[in-house]
Chains A and B, each alone.
Chain A
Amino acid sequence: DAKTTQPNSMESNEEEPVHLPCNHSTISGTDYIHWYRQLPSQGPEYVIHGLTSNVNNRMASLAIAEDRKSSTLILHRATLRDAAVYYCILSRNNNDMRFGAGTRLTVKP
């Protein structure tokens, strides 16, 4: 299985943009890139996913490198509610998600 590498933790100030990086150098052509987040005492929550092109939705943007070996989740204006563990996951055409350790995002007021 292709693996992902994320920083253990990151900090951001409220109302500033946040760029969460993810490296996946062994990604295959059929691997989708997914991002989920998990708030304290809750199950994971879907954020965004993409294959090759950059993606935007109401929660975030996903920027995928041209060689697909890395990607960045962008939260345009961080709020205190965005404090969570963010997981970058690769999966091939199914829901078999292999979660890594994720990045713990702290948002400072």
Chain B
Amino acid sequence: KAGVTQTPRYLIKTRGQQVTLSCSPISGHRSVSWYQQTPGQGLQFLFEYFSETQRNKGNFPGRFSGRQFSNSRSEMNVSTLELGDSALYLCASSLVMTVNEQFFGPGTRLTVL
């Protein structure tokens, strides 16, 4: 069974640009969560999607958005990039939304110059 895949793995952007990251969950998984990891703030929850609907949201500005498609694949978008958005963005999938094991992807390393 293939694991969670994230594309691209590495990305370099400049301030003011926007970026879209993609996550393909494990086959059959319907819940997808996104996290941001930085050396200073650690792992921070961005949002969670289930059945194409955002179910939970962390404390991030509106520049961070996401969506989920009918096949459970998810994308997150960051508009008007700032230097502080440089981070590892992790996607995690699970079968359902209730408490259970989450499977994390390898992440997308975003560098904003």
Contacts and interface: CB of A to CB of B under 8 A. Distances in A.
Given A43-B104, A94-B99, A99 B92 contact: no
A101 B39 CA distance: 10
Interface stretch (A14-22, A44-52, A62-70, A74-82): A44-52
A32 B43 contact: no
| Centre residue among A93, A96, A102 by max chain B CB count within 10 A | A96
Interface residues of B, number: 26
A64 to B, nearest CB: 15
A55 interface: no
Contacts of B98: 93-94
Count class of interface residues, chain A: 20 to 34
Contacts of B43: 44, 87, 97, 99
Contacts of B66: none
A94 B101 CA distance: 11
Interface string A25-42: 000000010101000001
B44 to A, nearest CB: 7
A32 B90 CA distance: 22
Contact of B56 (A46, A96, A102): A96
A33 to B, nearest CB: 10
B107 A97 contact: no
A102 B4 CA distance: 23
Nearest to A51: B99
Interface string B58-93: 100000000000000000000000000000001010
B90 A44 contact: yes
A95 to B, nearest CB: 5
B99 A97 contact: no
B42 A45 contact: no
7 contacts: A43-B92, A43-B106, A43-B107, A94-B56, A94-B97, A94-B98, A97-B33
